[in-house]
A and B are shown apart, each in its own frame.
Chain A
Amino acid sequence: MRGLSWKGAILLGLLMVPAVVVADTDGMSADERAEKLAEQQKKQTQTRTEGLSGEAASIVERLATDDWQAINDVVEELEALAAPETLPVLQALSDRRLYFDEQGRVLIEDPATGEYSDAITGETVEVASENLSQPTLTNAIRRGIRPLIGQLQLFSDDVATRRAGAEELADRPRPEMLGRLKELRAEESNPEVLRLLNIAIARLQLDASDSEERLEAVEVIADVRSARMKSELESLLETDAQGDPVEPDAAVREAARDAIEAIEERQSTARFLSDLVYGLSMGSVLLLAALGLAIIFGLMRVINMAHGELLMIGAYTTFIVQNLFALMAPQWFSFYLLAAIPAAFVVTALVGILMERGVIRFLYARPLETLLATWGISLILMQTTRVIFGAQNVRMASPEWFSGSVQLMQGVSLSTSRVGVIAFAFFVVALVWFVMNRTRLGLEVRAVMQNREMAAALGVSANRVDMWTFGAGAGVAGLGGVALSQIVNVGPELGQNYIVDSFMVVVLGGVGNILGSVFSALGLGVFSKFLEPVAGAVLAKILLFVAIIVFIQWRPQGIFALKGRAGDDD
């Protein structure tokens, strides 16, 4: 299912290429961003009326005020009127594109062109923007406008628009609309819109006078099993002051009880599933952060304290690639992530090789000294980044196909970027597995690791293998950085937050065992998410750390031990 969603996301991304002309980038100013958003809105909305008359016109005229109560009244009256031609006005009001001038003319701004049109006549008007004021708009007013827009959208000929309207109404049905909704249902042909309308009507009919209708409504709601409607069902089961049930019909009460049970069952499944999924998502982040370390520490026994900075360099490479794309190939912007993957690998691998050749190879016999030297390197890398890019975080813009979320079931959704990270983690693990087990480099690495002298005697240049292994491990850390750049803030201290976690993953999994790291990372993620609701995020983490420390005392070789005494290596 996740795999499918992932593929879906990529496919969607591919389809969207032509649509994304201007992409959100760091170099973009606030105005440009606003412009882009306006462009998106244009696709969905009509930007001017075709002229209003009669009652509609007289009501809309009264929007020229900054008294929020008056505006609320206007919205209510428009609701009673339910005239589809007022839709552009309402949408403009909701999006803050509605203005009025000193003569009391109500004007709609076209977000694409910046032109103003008179809401009543529908004609373009030339006005200076500094003479315009905006009607007051609050979330409370929007809450009234939204269902109204939804209802008016149902009159549209376009199925997508009708569906958007029906979705809104299923979410926020208003009792006054019941009659009209029924009429619309009779005319509706699209099954999805029909289903949504049925939900909206059912929610309104829970207090119908006819018990048949109520029963029907409860059944429709039971079918949806949405937690949102639970409280409505619960009110059916309440008793009044005399202890009599509010709902007279026992059959309806029974149905409501069943429906609540079904909802609760769904809720607890959802909670379990969401903990599991969030845990896997957190685990895959840990895994990506730790994998490079698992190679360098696990295979070479080098304590690379600069590992976190390799992650950081990977993330900054992604940032640079993003900016290059924005600058040189904005039409391909949404693919910068794909290009960042090899780029980050190469850049961090080079940094890694430089570290290995320049410092680490002189210290192979002295692991504790390596620890200190790599810490020194990490400080230098961090400060270099700070000098080049500044101490503040840099702004990453996720590609469009990477934002939003994937709904796994009702109540459980995972953001697309996190789904992507999970998939990417498995991709990287597979890649590492492939290289280690199916290539000559992998064979040589394993040979050198198991018996350095023997491998050397058989003609493997251990020195060269060291270099490549370190480079590969660093490169994998760079890949982790690409993934991190999409879900956490990218700044010079990015790596510092992951260094201890990464070591814990590797030590827990068993040094020298990449599969062990996979299990320990995912396990840590899942455990911590199941602990989090009980203990809170921080205490969960502390408990896990203590557990790991205790575990290491009991089983120094980690979960998956290699033969030999892994805990006794000096």
Chain B
Amino acid sequence: MKTRGSIRKTGLACLALGGLLASGVAQSEDNPIKVGILHSLSGTMAISETSLRDVALMTIEDINEQGGLLGRELEPVVKDPASDWPRYAEQARELIERDEVDVIFGAWTSVSRESVLPVLEELNGLMFYPVQYEGEESSRHIFYTGAAPNQQTLPAVDYLMSERGGGAEQFYLVGTDYVFPRTTNRIVRAYLNANGIEDDAIREEYFPFEHSDFQSLVSDIKRFSQSGQTAVINTINGDSNVAFYQELANQGVDSVDVPVMATSVGEEELRGMDAGPLVGHLAAWNYFMSVDSPENEAFTERWAEYVEENDLSGGSDRVTNDPMEATHIGIRMWAQAVLEAGTSDPDAVRQAVPGQCVDAPSGYEICMDEENHHLHKPVLIGEIQPDGQFATVWETDGPIRAEPWSKYLEGSEDKKADWTYPWVCGDCEEPRYDLEL
């Protein structure tokens, strides 16, 4: 508890200020501030997204316990898009038009985010997106609290190529067939080419969601690995990972010979599977539950307490993970921005979010970039342990800035996410990106 003192102090200070403002400006604002939560609670993504709803509700509860924002309670409105991408769009529309929420915390897969984006643009909504993603996007309506490729996958590739990481000379890119793995792998391929690894030392395979027969793939990985030191970059999402790692173990692919670096396997996913076959393999994130920091201790303790209070399914087995941390950071930043703006109006809050900083569970002070709507985040490489946790084997020196448009991709190297101007002027024409820089 003591560890979050600093942030609470700032929070309280702002609260007092905000309260003053609020009482001065409008007396009638005693109705709650509505907050939309848009995560799948059923279907294939439920395994990952349910916890995000829970941690969002927890953080909102914490804020309410301290008296809410601007003297108003936060009222969460929870939806279940059931892993159906068009339904994300539908429900985002309902949240904004019918429930009149001021902000949405939600989405996981890039597909779901892309479905919601047009609705946000149309209705001038505001969303915090808490998951690592492929970049190549920039919107004035979304704050990305997960990692861009240069904050997750590219450092992971660096690590695998380094002497410390095993000096991989060949890469096998395996992913689920949708936009995140496809784009990430395009960037990875360009990056590898730039680092002297030619296309014939790279292999790329995709599988549909829910695919469960990886026999042929793993025997191909085995064959491929015989011609040089090989690493696998795994962008498989969801339940398929169980079958994939199981097959790796069954066919005797050892993490020492062929390390598999996962970008979408975290503590929560590991909880749902038998971690045995994954032990020794790697994952790249911006936060691990095992991180040793006072902020994290407070975060995980509060989480355990919340799970117990609300009797959440899973009980004492429940864990924290990177997107949960990102959700937590996102809500706290939004709350600070509301206090600073003195209103929960999305247009005002949007201008107040950049530059907000919080002491994050990862042990760093995490700040929202002034320009690009992304966080500065540290990168951690962890090794999967038998208890489903990660042992950090490498981390960056500190938070690094996100590059939403990858400089390794042709066509996007000149693009720059810049939301400092001209959106400050309110309703002016929105540029997708600024080509002049």
The chain A residues found within 8 Å of chain B, CB to CB, are: 24, 29-31, 33-34, 37, 68-69, 96, 134, 136-140, 142-143, 146, 227-228, 230-231, 267, 274-275, 278, 281-282, 386, 390-393, 395, 397-398, 403-405, 411-418, 487-489, 491, 493, 497, 529, 532-533, 536-538
Q: Which of B117-125, B243-251, B303-311, B397-405 contacts A (4 or more CB under 8 A)?
A: B243-251
CA distance A231 to B43 in the complex (A): 46
| Residues A139 and B280 in contact in the complex (CB < 8 Å), given A274-B219, A392-B47, A488-B212 | yes
Whether A282 and B165, one on each chain, are in contact in the complex, defined by CB atoms closer than 8 angstroms, is: no
CA distance A138 to B206 in the complex (A): 28
Whether A30 and B388, one on each chain, are in contact in the complex, defined by CB atoms closer than 8 angstroms, is: yes
A31, A37, A139, A493: the one contacting B255 at CB < 8 Å is: A139
Whether B242 and A33, one on each chain, are in contact in the complex, defined by CB atoms closer than 8 angstroms, is: no
- Which residues of chain B have C-beta atoms less than 8 A from A391's C-beta? 41-43, 46
B211, B223, B255, B391: the one contacting A96 at CB < 8 Å is: B391
CA distance A33 to B386 in the complex (A): 7
CA distance A533 to B246 in the complex (A): 21
Q: Which of B98-106, B139-147, B268-276 contacts A (4 or more CB under 8 A)?
A: B268-276
Whether B226 and A37, one on each chain, are in contact in the complex, defined by CB atoms closer than 8 angstroms, is: no
Whether A139 and B251, one on each chain, are in contact in the complex, defined by CB atoms closer than 8 angstroms, is: no
| Residues A29 and B164 in contact in the complex (CB < 8 Å), given A231-B226, A489-B239 | no
Whether A415 and B210, one on each chain, are in contact in the complex, defined by CB atoms closer than 8 angstroms, is: no
Q: How many residues of B contact A (CB 8 A)?
A: 63
Whether A140 and B387, one on each chain, are in contact in the complex, defined by CB atoms closer than 8 angstroms, is: no
CA distance A386 to B313 in the complex (A): 14
> What 10 A-B pairs come out closest when comparing CB atoms?
A415-B250, A391-B42, A30-B387, A405-B250, A34-B387, A488-B212, A278-B215, A140-B166, A489-B239, A37-B386
CA distance A136 to B208 in the complex (A): 37
A139, A386, A413: the one contacting B165 at CB < 8 Å is: A139
The prevalent SS among residues of B at the interface is loop
Query: Considering only CB atoms, which chain B residue lies closest to A144 in the complex?
Result: B256
Q: Is B385 an interface residue (CB 8 A)?
A: yes
| Residues A413 and B47 in contact in the complex (CB < 8 Å), given A37-B276, A392-B272 | no
Given contacts A140-B164, A278-B213, 5 further A-B contacts (CB under 8 A): A34-B386, A274-B215, A403-B250, A487-B243, A488-B243
Q: List 26 A-B pairs, Cβ < 8 Å.
A: A24-B276, A30-B271, A30-B389, A37-B386, A96-B391, A136-B393, A137-B391, A138-B166, A274-B219, A278-B213, A391-B42, A392-B46, A392-B47, A397-B274, A411-B222, A414-B215, A415-B246, A415-B251, A416-B250, A418-B215, A488-B212, A489-B239, A493-B44, A537-B207, A537-B208, A537-B211
CA distance A31 to B166 in the complex (A): 30
Whether B243 and A140, one on each chain, are in contact in the complex, defined by CB atoms closer than 8 angstroms, is: no
Q: Is B67 an interface residue (CB 8 A)?
A: no
CA distance A413 to B208 in the complex (A): 24
The chain B residues found within 8 Å of chain A, CB to CB, are: 41-44, 46-47, 50, 163-167, 177, 205-208, 210-213, 215-216, 219-220, 222-223, 226-228, 239, 242-243, 246-247, 249-252, 255-257, 259, 271-276, 280, 282, 313, 316-317, 383, 385-389, 391, 393-394
Query: Considering only CB atoms, which chain A residue lies closest to B40 in the complex?
Result: A391
